[in-house]
Amino acid sequence: MDALAANWRQLSERTAPGLCAGMVKANAYGLGLNRVAPALYEAGCRHFFTANTFGAMKLKKLLPDCHAFVLNGLTVGTDKVFLENDLIPVLNDLGQIEHWAATARSEGRKLKAMVHMDTGMARLGLPPYEVDQLIERPDLLDGIDVTYYASHLACADEHDHPLNTEQLHNFRHALARLPKAPASLANSSGIFLGPEYHFDLARPGYAVYGGNPTPGRKNPMQPAVRLHARIIQTREIKAGDPVGYGATYRARQNQRIATIPVGYADGYLRSLSSIGVARVAGREVPLVGRVSMDLVTLDITDVPEAEAQVGTWVDLIWGPDKLDRLAGYAGTIGYELLTALGGRYPRNYLGGPRQ
Ligand SMILES: Cc1ncc(COP(=O)(O)O)c(C=O)c1O
């Protein structure tokens, strides 16, 4: 928890004088909203983003005075939920803007919102032709207190990708023609693209949780998650012996195998079969054979027998680069590994605010 807070503070210092938010969608990237949000709040974070109103309502119960933004916006029938819980919708199309403005009229007061413009992702946010319409009809925003205009970068994790500067240009171009309000563009990697991407509010998630926002370069963040489990069985096998389902792995020599009670049901992805790595007694060892639902098998031949016994702890995610490295082996991103961390793991939160 202290690493998490330190990461947020580092990002907040980088983005000053602009503000820095905390992205806590998907149960705080799988790590537990209940623990993460108060820790970020204690570090100074006041702006939080969730994907939907369920997350935002939980957040507001924990931190009643925080600014709770809902990325998925005003979905059908959610007006009341936004109003009653003091949530801020991210408005993603003109229809939502019109709807929120009408709600403001019937409430007889201005209502806060973030207006999200799509500058190159074709995912969420006002498409460029709607941005043009809004520029022609700024009165559509009457009744809305635009706390921020926002957009989201598609390729910020690729420092030199041409879409970064293109999106920055599109965003600036739109901002210059819309009624004045603060702006928000950068996610974790966006913060590292340079100060011109920071605007008034940054929205980091992954880097707060210790993921590397600068792929290919040294991770500037502190690792915040360590996953470990104990060996539950060991065995000696001979050259040619198969290991695991499908006999996809065969021993190349006489080997020692350790079985660990973690599997794909825990979010330890099956695509890590025979390519994952773990750490036993300070040594990195390869995962051999298929990942099963509840078990994985490691080749511990190179670890002295006395140091790898039933009961010995094995690290599965550790240090500043394993999350990203493992994800790379699995053909995915660390975000997926974090959010997939299963419900069967006992979770110990070390440091951070008292509960
Ligand atoms: C709109 C928006 N902003 C910010 C973020 C945070 O991104 P990251 O976790 O890469 O910092 C996300 C995450 O997907 C997002 O969808």
Of the candidates 180, 181, 171, 188, the residue with the CA atom closest to the CA atom of residue 119: 171
pTM above 0.85, yes or no: yes
| CATH code that applies to domain 2-202 | 3.20.20.10
- Residue 245 catalytic? yes
Q: What burial letters (b/e) apply to 46-59, b meaning 16+ CB within 10 Å?
A: ebbbbbbbebbbbb
User: From atom 1 of ligand 1, which residue's Cα is the shortest distance away?
Assistant: 152
Pocket test for ligand 1, best of 4, 15, 23 (most atoms within 8 A of CB): 23
Domain boundaries, the chain: 2-202, 227-340
Q: How many CB atoms lie under 10 A from the CB of residue 31?
A: 24
Question: Could you tell me the distance, in angstroms and rounded to a whole number, from the CA of residue 64 to the centre of ligand 1?
Answer: 23
Position in ligand 1 atom list of the atom nearest CA 209: 9
In angstroms, the CA 172 to CA 119 distance is 10
Judge if 2-202 and 227-340 fold alike in CATH terms: no
- Residue 197 catalytic? no
User: From atom 7 of ligand 1, which residue's Cα is the shortest distance away?
Assistant: 187
Q: Which whole-number Å values give the CA distances from 142 to 86, 95, 131, 183, 326, in the listed order?
A: 19, 14, 16, 18, 49
User: From atom 5 of ligand 1, which residue's Cα is the shortest distance away?
Assistant: 187
Pocket test for ligand 1, best of 203, 206, 339 (most atoms within 8 A of CB): 203
Helix (H, G, I), strand (E, B) or coil at 28: helix
153 CB within 6 A, ligand 1: no
Q: What burial letters (b/e) apply to 65-80, b meaning 16+ CB within 10 Å?
A: ebbbbbbbbbeeebbe
Position in ligand 1 atom list of the atom nearest CA 203: 4
Q: Find residue 283's DSSP bridge partners.
A: 280
Architecture of domain 227-340: Beta Barrel (2.40)
The tokens describing 156, both together, are: 């910020």
Encode pLDDT of 168-202 as tens digits. 999 999 999 999 999 999 999 999 999 999 999 99
Q: What local confidence, expressed as pLDDT, does residue 352 receive?
A: 86
Encode pLDDT of 113-155 as tens digits. 999 999 999 999 999 999 999 999 999 999 999 999 999 999 9
